[in-house]
Amino acid sequence: MNWYSGKEFDKAPPDDGKILTAGLNVVLIRPEIAPNAGNISRLCFATGTRLHIVGKTGFTITDKHFKRAAVDYWDRLDISYYADMGELLEKASSEGGDSRFIYTTTNGKTLFFDFEYKKGDYIVFGPESTGLDEQMIDSNYDMTVRIPLNSNVRCLNLSTSCGIILFHAIYQLNLLSK
């Protein structure tokens, strides 16, 4: 991976904006670790993905670790905050369309690469320490996805998991549109 300073963007590859039109959404429920949320914020900005933060975070937006990971994209990020999941579900349904919520869990029904993503999907990630609560998983089991892991690993880092699933969804949506 090449790195470009703010003065070297003319050396960067052409804008891939046409590829990044999946209209996806990432939902973080009560994120606890500032660098994870910062990395996911940068990922969302880079991919044109909307970010939704539900509930109280384990850090403040002014946290130096958060700001370091989010860098200078924070003020341009498409982000919304919600007190709880009910508020987000209500907002999504009021916007119309066929928005679906996909829940990520190590016990998901479908491998993330076998799931058929659709434009406008909301990909939901739980807190780092607990993941999504069992009731949410059980009541939405048909809409759960997982990343395959060897049995000696509890889970992957939240921002790593988000990147894997989000980029696969973007890839799949672009492949299907050709």
What is the mean pLDDT, run by run of 10 residues, along the chain of 178 residues?
A: 48 60 90 88 90 89 59 73 95 85 96 95 96 96 96 89 96 78
Nearest 5 degrees, angle CA 157-CA 105-CA 47? 60
pTM across the whole model: 0.86
**Domains of the chain in sequence order:** 21-176 (3.40.1280.10)
In this predicted structure, what is the pLDDT of residue 9?
Answer: 47
Evaluate whether 75 touches 42 at the Cβ level (below 8 Å): no
Count the alpha carbons within 13 Å of 117 in the hemisphere toward its beta carbon: 29
Tokens 């799949």 belong to 172
Cα–Cα nearest to 123, from 43, 65, 62, 32: 43
Q: In angstroms, rounded to a whole number, what is the distance separating the alpha carbons of residues 174 and 34? A: 31
Task: For 19-42, give the DSSP string.
Answer: T-----EEEEES---HHHHHHHHH
Q: In angstroms, rounded to a whole number, what is the distance separating the alpha carbons of residues 153 and 94? A: 39
In this predicted structure, what is the pLDDT of residue 154?
Answer: 82
16 DSSP assignment = -
H helices of 75-133, where?
A: 85-94
Q: In angstroms, rounded to a whole number, what is the distance separating the alpha carbons of residues 12 and 107? A: 39
Buried b / exposed e along 119-142 (16+ C-beta atoms within 10 A): ebbbbbbbbbeebbeeebbeebee
Q: For residue 79, what are the β-bridge partners?
A: 51
